Every structure is written in structure tokens, then in C-alpha cells.
């Protein structure tokens, strides 16, 4: 069961810091009618925007704008929610917030509105995480799949599998009460086929969730190559028309050494090692040290060369690059040699011949990067997922496999099914040990 939601009133500025046409202060708590009356002299009708003057303690207007009132339980948090839509200046917003605190609210912690939505059963855990992932999405594809998680698509699939596991457990536990011909009974009920079916559904969901995790976190690419080999040109080509949307994302950290582009919605975090030079500048050195730490997490190293196999000054960098990481060799400037774009495999390493200036062969490189990333999804069935979800799904799959190996040890089988169910339940935040009993008694009438 979820813990009780706290009963105090919380408030926060809900819009991004800075100046804007509108700024919103959001308040959530219980019994906020009195709060509204003190703030603007009336209790607004539910869910209807109304013009209001927001007053201070001496009945002086602080700002004017719209007031919205969402009485419990029909609000985001499931509590009474009030939204003050004022003018979006930092000082005005601070004044409105201070007034809300004066009226008894306390400052909300990060994510606390969503946490309350979870505690009040408006969202499950995976949906709550979807809220954060939507806000943090760095590509349109990531945003779309975060919305799918938020709206419960992922959760419903998890719950569907969980229901299947519960049904099987009920069957197995009921069978335990009839010591003779237990296995025959289970076979007659197609229990083991159903187990296989659930395994397949978990595997499918895990695959799509892994694709979603990729959309969320992206791929770390390290770009190496001598000066003038065409690194900047290649970056520009890879970014293509989609560059605008990536750079337009507010609040993303940008520095000279790191650039994010996207391929089919997968963020590629590209570290240009041209910036990794020796320097006496302290700030630059800190940046470079941080970059090296990122390089240690590289997924793929892109080596750019002018002519076949050429290496040189960058070998110092090369020696420090992580071993065991996939490498792609890019032979640039094929236009100068009148060559055609092509991909070839040489000693287990992929070589792509292209022209960063003309764009020939860029599609080959894109496909190669997607392959290395492990991206093979298509369509709208990708669910944005976190490592936590993947682990839970893997645990579920492992428990189902063990369940299938139990033979006639039915107590063990029941236990493995329970482990699978618990692992799944951790995704949505339901720990349903008691639920199971409820389900057994209500649906199976075993108490006779």
C-alpha cells in the first residue's frame, strides 16, 4: 500500500525562472477555499478561470490575473489545487509565492506535486517518472514516448502481465490443495503454455523498454581525428535539419567539447576530442577532466581519417580511449578522390567512406551509429523506460524462467511466480502481497 499523503499545503512557482508573458504559482493542499477567499476575496467556481486580484495582508493588490480552482479529487495531485496565473516576472512571482507562504503554505520540494499525485493514487510510479522524463526529454521522439508512459500505456502493459501472473498463481495455489494429480491439473489448465506466453510478453516489453531507455539517455560518441580532417563538417552533417530543435532545448548544458545531435530521435552526445588539448587555463582544465570522465562511458568511437588507415597526432588521445568500445572508421573527403560512398568491414571494424561536405554516405554512417546503439525500433510502440524498469523486467523474466524449471515442485513454482509478480509490481509502485489474497478470495472462492 502507498503511504499516506501528508496533509499540509505546498506551493511553488510552476513556470520556468526568468521573464515570460505569464507565470504560474501552484498550490496544493486540503480545504483551499479559505485560502482562495483570503487571497482574492472569493471562492472560485471549480475548473473555471476567473479574473482575480491577488491581495496581500493589507488588501493591496500584488498582481492581477487568472485564478483556477481544482477541488479534490479532480486535480493533478488529487488534493485541492489552486493556480495563480499572474504576470511572468521573477519579482511578481516571488511576491505571489511569498503571499501563499504567508497564507500557510510551505515551499514545495522538487517533484512534490507529482509525489502527491502518486500518493493519492492519481498516477502510478511509472507514470510519475513519465512526467519527469517528458519535461527532460531532449528529442521529440523521447517526448512522445515519455507521454506514452505518462498516460499509462507502459503501466497498463505491466499490469496486464502482472494479472496473468496472478491468475497463474491462483491456479497453482489452488492445485496445492489437491495433492493428487497436481501436474495433470495444471497441464489441463494449460498453465505452462500460459507461463511461456507471459515470458514472451515480458521479453517483448523489455525490448521496447530498452529502446525507450535509449531514447531517454542516448548514445555517447567520441570523435577523434587530426585537425582539418573534417570533424566539424561531419558534426554539422549529422545534426542536419534537426539541429535547431536540439539546440533550442532550454537548460541543456552545452560546452565547447560536447554537442548533442539526434538520429531518428536518439540523442547522440558527441565529444569532439579536438578540444582536448594541453592547457594552463584552470577552468578549461576542469572542463577537460570532466570530458575525460565522459569519454570513459563512451559507447562508440568515431575515428575520422583523410586517407585509408592514416593516423598520427591523435594517437596520444587514442591510447587513452577505452578499450573494448566499438570503433567506426570514417574516411572523409571521398569527393576529392572521386570515390563512391560505401561501407566495408575490415578486420571486424566497420569503415565508412563518405563526404562530410557533400553529404554522400552520411546515411551509411547514421545507420551504423543506430546499429551500434542497438536501435531497431519502429513505430509508436516504444515506451520510455529507466534502468530501474529494465532491471525489474529482467528480474521478472528470470523468475518466470525459474518457474518453468520447477517441474513438480509446486510450492517453488508458486514462489517464483510471486517473485515475478513482485518484480513487476515495483515498476508501478504496487507491492501487492495483500492484494493477491484479496484477488484470490474475491475471484476464486477458495474459502469453501
Annotated binding site for Mg(2+): 232, 253
Q: Give the shortest CB-136-to-ligand GDP separation in angstroms.
A: 30
- Report the nearest approach of ligand GDP to the CB of residue 240 (Å): 15
Q: Which is nearer to ligand GDP, 337 or 443 (CB)?
A: 337
Binding residues among 242-301 for ligand GDP as defined by CB under 6 A: none
Q: Which does 349 bind (CB under 5 to 8 A by kind): ligand GDP, Zn ion, none?
A: none
Q: Is 233 in the site for ligand GDP (CB under 6 A)?
A: yes
Known binding-site positions: 26, 83, 122, 228-233, 247-253, 272-275, 355-357, 448
CA distances from 81 to 29, 119, 339 (A): 7, 15, 65
Give the shortest CB-274-to-ligand GDP separation in angstroms.
6
Q: Is 336 in the site for ligand GDP (CB under 6 A)?
A: yes
- Between 216 and 303, whose beta carbon lies closer to ligand GDP? 303
231 lies in the binding site for ligand GDP (CB under 6 A): yes
How far is residue 448's CA from residue 428's CA, in Å, rounded to a whole number? 33
Stretch that binds ligand GDP, among 55-63, 114-122, 206-214, 355-363 (CB under 6 A): 355-363
Core vs surface per residue 358-391: b (16+ CB within 10 A) or e? eebbbebbbebbbebbebebeeebbbbbbeebbe
Residue 101 Cβ vs ligand GDP, minimum distance, rounded to whole Å = 52
22 C-beta neighbours (distance < 10 Å), count: 11
Contact with Zn ion (CB under 5 A): which of 38, 56, 203, 207?
A: 207
If 0-12 CB within 10 Å is exposed, 13-18 middle and 19+ buried, where does residue 197 land?
Answer: middle
Q: Does 357 bind ligand GDP (CB under 6 A)?
A: yes
Structural contact between residues 225 and 314, judged by C-beta atoms closer than 8 angstroms = yes
Label the pairing between strands 80-88 and 61-70: antiparallel
225 binds ligand GDP (CB under 6 A): yes
Tell me the C-alpha distance between 355 and 315, whole Å: 23
How far is it, in rounded angstroms, from Cα 364 to Cα 326?
16
Name which of 201, 85, 212, 206 is nearest 144 in CA terms: 212
Q: How far is the CB of 220 from ligand GDP (least distance, A)?
A: 19
Residue 207 touches which of Zn ion, ligand GDP, none (Cβ within 5-8 Å per kind): Zn ion
Give which of 17, 99, 85, 89 is closest to 56, Cα–Cα. 99
Figure out which of the listed residues 164, 230, 287, 361 binds ligand GDP, where binding follows CB under 6 A: 230
Residues that bind ligand GDP (CB under 6 A): 225, 227-233, 332-333, 335-336, 355-357
Amino acid at each position: 500500500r502507498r503511504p499516506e499523503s501528508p496533509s499540509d499545503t505546498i506551493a511553488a512557482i510552476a513556470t520556468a525562472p526568468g521573464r515570460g508573458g505569464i507565470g504560474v504559482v501552484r498550490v496544493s493542499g486540503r480545504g483551499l477555499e479559505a485560502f482562495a477567499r483570503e487571497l482574492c476575496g472569493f471562492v472560485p467556481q471549480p475548473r473555471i478561470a476567473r479574473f482575480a486580484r491577488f491581495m496581500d495582508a493589507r488588501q493591496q493588490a500584488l498582481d492581477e490575473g487568472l485564478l483556477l480552482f481544482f477541488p479534490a479529487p479532480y486535480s493533478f495531485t488529487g488534493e485541492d489545487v489552486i493556480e495563480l496565473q499572474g504576470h511572468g516576472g521573477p519579482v511578481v512571482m516571488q511576491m505571489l509565492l511569498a503571499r501563499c507562504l504567508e497564507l500557510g503554505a510551505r515551499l514545495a520540494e522538487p517533484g512534490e506535486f507529482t509525489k502527491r499525485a502518486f500518493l493519492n493514487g492519481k498516477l502510478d510510479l511509472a507514470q510519475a517518472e513519465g512526467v519527469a522524463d517528458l519535461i527532460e526529454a531532449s528529442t521529440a521522439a523521447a517526448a512522445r514516448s515519455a507521454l506514452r508512459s505518462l498516460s499509462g500505456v507502459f503501466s497498463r502493459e505491466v499490469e496486464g502481465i502482472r494479472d496473468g501472473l496472478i491468475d497463474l498463481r491462483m491456479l497453482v495455489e489452488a492445485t496445492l490443495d489437491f495433492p493428487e494429480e497436481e501436474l495433470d491439473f495444471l497441464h489441463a489448465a494449460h498453465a505452462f503454455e500460459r507461463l511461456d506466453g507471459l515470458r514472451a510478453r515480458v521479453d517483448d516489453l523489455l525490448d521496447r523498454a530498452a529502446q525507450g531507455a535509449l531514447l531517454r539517455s542516448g548514445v555517447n560518441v567520441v570523435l577523434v581525428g587530426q585537425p582539418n580532417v573534417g570533424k566539424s563538417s561531419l558534426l554539422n552533417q549529422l545534426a542536419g535539419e534537426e539541429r535547431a530543435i536540439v539546440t533550442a532545448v532550454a537548460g541543456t548544458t552545452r560546452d565547447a567539447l560536447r554537442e548533442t545531435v539526434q538520429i531518428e530521435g536518439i540523442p547522440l552526445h558527441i565529444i569532439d576530442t579536438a578540444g582536448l588539448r594541453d592547457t594552463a587555463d584552470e577552468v578549461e582544465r576542469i572542463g577537460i577532466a570532466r570530458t575525460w570522465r565522459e569519454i570513459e562511458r563512451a559507447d562508440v568511437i568515431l575515428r575520422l581519417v583523410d586517407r585509408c588507415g592514416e593516423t598520427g597526432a591523435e594517437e596520444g588521445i587514442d591510447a587513452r580511449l577505452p578499450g573494448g568500445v566499438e570503433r567506426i572508421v570514417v574516411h572523409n573527403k571521398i569527393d576529392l578522390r572521386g570515390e563512391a560512398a560505401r561501407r566495408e568491414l575490415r578486420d571486424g571494424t566497420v569503415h565508412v567512406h563518405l563526404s562530410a561536405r557533400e553529404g554522400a554516405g552520411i546515411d551509411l554512417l547514421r545507420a551504423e551509429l543506430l546499429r551500434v546503439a542497438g536501435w531497431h525500433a519502429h513505430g509508436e510502440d516504444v515506451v520510455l523506460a529507466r534502468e530501474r524498469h529494465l532491471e525489474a523486467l529482467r528480474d521478472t523474466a528470470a523468475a518466470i524462467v525459474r518457474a518453468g524449471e520447477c517441474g513438480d515442485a509446486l510450492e517453488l513454482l508458486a514462489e517464483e511466480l510471486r517473485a515475478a509478480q513482485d518484480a513487476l509490481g515495483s515498476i508501478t509502485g504496487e507491492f501487492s502481497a495483500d492484494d493477491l489474497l484479496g484477488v484470490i478470495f474475491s475471484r476464486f472462492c477458495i474459502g469453501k
